[in-house]
Structure 1
Amino acid sequence: MFLGTFSPSLASTGQVALPTKLRSALGSDRAIITTGFDKCVFGFSLDEWQKLGAIELIKPVSTSEGREVRRRMYSEAVEVDLDDQGRFVIPTNLRKYAGITDKIAVIGAGDHFEIWDKDAWDKLSHSSSS
C-alpha cells in the first residue's frame, strides 16, 4: 500500500527518485504513470494497473463512456523503468499537465501514488484540513 507524503528533488531533466517506502509498495522496478485527477500525475504498480484496466474495460467500446474511459486511461499512460536508486523521468507532457516545475510532492494514495507540484499540493492539503 502506498502511504505517506514526501518531497524528493526533481532534476531539470524531470528525473525523480521514488521514495524508498513507495518503491517497496511498488514491488518491482517498473511503474505506469499517467494523468491524474486534480492536475497531478498518478503512478501505479503494473499489477494494480492491470486490475484497474480489467474493471474499466468491461465498459463496451461501442458506448461513448467506454471510449472515453479508454482514451483517458491509455492515451497519456507511460511505462517507466526505475534504476537502482529508484529514479525515473516524468515525461514533459505529464509535468506540463500537472504544472510541475521544480518542487514536487509525492504522496501515497493507497492503491497508487501521486506526484504534485509542491505548491499545488500544499494548497490542496491545507484547504482540506481546514
Structure 2
Amino acid sequence: MPLTGTFNRSMDDKSRFAVPKRLREQFGEEELRSIYVAPGTECSLDLYSKIAFEELADRVATMSPTRADIRNFKRLFYGRAERVDLDSQGRIRIPERLVTFAGLQKEVVLIGVHDHVEVWDAAVWQQFLENHSTDFDSMAAGVFE
C-alpha cells in the first residue's frame, strides 16, 4: 500500500513527535516498532519501514562503486541514517544531527510519498507548496505520458 497523506505535528523539546496511526498502519508491518530516519532531499528527512529501507539499500548496492558521486552519496546517506524506535505513544525521536540537517523547528509536516514518509519543517513545506503547486498539471502530464 502506498504511503499517502499530509499530517501536521508538533515536535517536543526532546525532538520527538508522534507518527500518526494511519501512517503506522500504511507502513504495512504488523507491529511497527522502529523506523529508519535518513537525510532526504530539499532539506527534508525520509522515514522508511525496515522493508522499504532494505529495498532501497538493495537498489543502491547495484550502483557502481567506482563513481565518486555514488560513493559520496552512500557516505552522506548511510552515515547519517539511523533506526529509531517508536515509544508506547507512537512517538519517534529524531537525532539532533538530522534535526539540524533538515532545519526542523517545533512545527513539522509528515507527507506520505509512496514508499516512505518525508518530514519537513512546516514553514519550509509551506514555501515548497507555494513554489510548486502551480506546476502540478505539467508534472502530472510528464508522469502519465
Q: What TM-score bracket applies, with the shorter chain setting the length?
A: over 0.9
Separation of aligned partners in 2, 1:99 and 1:73: 17
Deviating above 3 A after TM superposition, structure 1's stretches of 4 or more consecutive aligned residues are none
Separation of aligned partners in 1, 2:19 and 2:82: 16
Task: Report which stretch shifted further, 20-29 or 103-112.
Answer: 20-29
1:2 and 2:33 correspond: no
Aligned equivalent of 1:126: 130
Aligned equivalent of 2:14: 13
What is the SS of the residue equivalent to 1:38?
coil
Q: Following TM superposition, by how much is the alpha carbon of 1:36 offset from its aligned partner in structure 2, in angstroms? A: 0.3
| Superimposed CA distance per residue, residues 79-119 of structure 1 (whole angstroms, 9 cap, x where no aligned partner) | 01111221010111111111111111111111100111000
Separation of aligned partners in 2, 1:63 and 1:107: 32
Aligned equivalent of 1:111: 115
Aligned equivalent of 1:34: 38
Q: Following TM superposition, by how much is the alpha carbon of 1:78 offset from its aligned partner in structure 2, in angstroms? A: 0.5
Aligned residues: 130
Cα RMSD between the aligned structures? 1.3
Aligned equivalent of 2:106: 102
TM (norm. structure 1) is: 0.93
Aligned equivalent of 2:82: 78
Instruction: State the identity as a percent.
Output: 28
- Structure 2 unmatched ranges of 5 or more: 135-145
- Structure 1 unmatched ranges of 5 or more: none
TM (norm. structure 2) is: 0.84
